[in-house]
Amino acid sequence: FYSLRVLSPALVLLVVTGSYALGFINRPPTAKVFVSLAVALILMESLPKTLVLPENPYRIAPRDWREAGGQFSRSVQIEEQQLVVMIQALTEKNHGRILTDIAGLPRVLAPAGVEAMPLWSPEVAWLFDATLGSEAIAARWQKSGLGYLVLGKASPTADFMRTHARWRAPYFTVIRVIETDKLLILQAAAVPINNAR
């Protein structure tokens, strides 16, 4: 029941390894029958797991398998819609772009016309550049059009931002705008450089 983004590359390697092993096993005719039966049993056993991902088919009744398979994606879609409404309300006021550590957020916000940029984008590497002064970073922040930071609470990004982001007073004001069970939304504003002095 592990994440498929990790399992998929492993499956490719297992297919190559399994095919090579089957080449040695299938020489006698009786071995072919046993190998074919074993493969069929493995496929039959794995089918319920595939149908109910990410649930465990051995913990729910077979009659509930069909409903269980889509339950996770439906709950994610509801959460995504709520998040889009929250962010649209914020960005309509200030027309800001979003900086985020949530990998799927750019895809979710694109139909709503809100641009979300991942924190690991080279376009915002300057925010963590210790060789730049606070004034230069504030000027780049203003030029970038970024206004909000959306972080997942389960990730270590909030601590990383606190430690490594170069938004320093008096050039930046960072305030918590919205906090939910899973999200933290911060508004970060760079004051005009003339007013910072």
Predicted confidence (pLDDT) per residue in 62-95, tens digit: 888 877 777 767 777 777 888 888 888 777 766 5
Which value, in Å, is the radius of gyration of the alpha carbons in the chain?
25
Q: What is residue 145's predicted lDDT score, i.e. its pLDDT?
A: 87
SS3 23: helix
* 0.75 surpassed by pTM: no
Tens of pLDDT, residue by residue over 143-182, are: 988 888 999 888 888 888 888 888 887 888 888 988 888 8
Check: CB of residue 67 under 8 Å from CB of residue 75. Answer: no
Tens of pLDDT, residue by residue over 97-130, are: 889 998 888 888 888 888 889 999 999 999 999 8
Helix (H) or strand (E) holding 184: strand 183-190
Tens of pLDDT, residue by residue over 6-32, are: 777 788 888 888 878 777 765 677 777
Please name the amino acid found at residue 40.
Answer: A
Q: What is residue 196's predicted lDDT score, i.e. its pLDDT?
A: 45
Identify the CA nearest to 147 among candidates 77, 89, 193, 197.
89
- Rounded to a whole number of angstroms, the distance between the first and last alpha carbons of the chain is 56
With a cut of 70, say whether residue 197 has pLDDT above it: no
